[in-house]
Amino acid sequence: EASERGNLQLPSAENFMVTSKLFELISALAANDTNESYFMFQTKCEDVAVYLKNECLSSGMEGITAGDKAVENIDTIYSQKSVPKRVKEWLRIEPLAERAEGNLFWSQPLLPLDCLPETEVQCLSENKAVHRCLFKYKNT
């Protein structure tokens, strides 16, 4: 079963991308902060977005819901934008994969337009989807 093998497109190297160890470090840093701590991520890779969202939740972060800015149906967004080859291949391999949609995925930029990161600017100029989530560290 594909779900037992994990995402076949992600490298098998343990230090690839963001690891659970990195999320532990983020949580430890946030725990030492007397202010509220937030973690935002964005990516143009839908499978990576789903992976990161799940890692954030499993590390104890609280998802900030997007409300009326939530991605209700990612395929609707793709119908208006170009679908990356990576996404097509991912869905071919894992047709029942969890998708980057729902109340934790934001359809609009989280930062002011004059503060957008390079990847988001590139995606907007190339009419590609950007997957965004915002999390708050839960102070215990």
71-130: per-residue pLDDT in tens?
Answer: 999 999 999 988 888 899 999 999 999 999 999 999 999 999 899 999 889 988 988 999
Does the pTM exceed 0.85?
Answer: no
Q: E strands of 33-78, at which residues?
A: 38-43, 61-63, 70-71
Token readout for 83 is: 């679908």
> Residue 64: pLDDT above 70?
yes
Q: How far apart are CA 138 and CA 66, in angstroms?
A: 18
43-57: per-residue pLDDT in tens?
Answer: 999 998 998 999 889
> Residue 3: pLDDT above 50?
no
For the ranges 30-34, 35-39, 44-48, 124-128, which has the lowest average pLDDT? 30-34
Chain-centre distance for alpha carbon 68: 18
Token readout for 113 is: 């337009």
| Across 15-42, average pLDDT | 78
- Output the pLDDT for position 37: 86
Q: How far apart are CA 53 and CA 134, in angstroms?
A: 9
Cα-only R_g, the chain: 15
Higher pLDDT, 1 or 34: 34
Cβ neighbours of 90 (radius 10 Å): 21
Q: How far apart are CA 95 and CA 8, in angstroms?
A: 13
